[in-house]
Amino acid sequence: MARKTAEEKADEQRRYALARVAEEEADFEPFFSDPNQAIRAVAAGNPAATVLVLDRFAFDRFWGVQVAVVLHRNVARETLLRLVAGNPKSRGVVYSEARKRLETDGVLFDNDGFAIDS
């Protein structure tokens, strides 16, 4: 892989900074498709991220972004429930973290690991 140029590094730092200070939902738009998964994770962890922003980040292809969503104080219960609803064979760290969060909120799970939402 080729080394990043000074311009590429500067652009990456600029995007990190913007991800940290995004405030409005529209400010998050460029980060849903940012090629750098770490920048997407920073945006997902931004305290200003809304329920809608977090819901979009919840299904990012990188598990680190999904975990940032699970750990976010603004994440909706519905988003967490969708993250634990998948195929049991594909469960991993995202499932585990979402389950812990839901159990803390009183959600029960059956023997197969599926949420029993009341």
How many domains does the chain fold into?
1
Q: Is residue 102 part of a domain?
A: yes
Q: What is the pLDDT of residue 118?
A: 59
Q: Is residue 34 part of a domain?
A: yes
Q: What does the alpha-carbon distance between residue 33 and residue 60 come to, in Å, rounded to a whole number?
A: 9
Residue 16, H or E segment = helix 6-21
Mean pLDDT score of the chain: 95
Q: Is residue 71 part of a domain?
A: yes
State pLDDT tens for residues 74-108.
999 999 999 999 888 888 999 999 999 999 999 99
Helix, strand, coil shares of the chain as percentages rounded to 5? 60, 5, 35
- Can you give the residue range of the structural domain that contains 56? 6-116
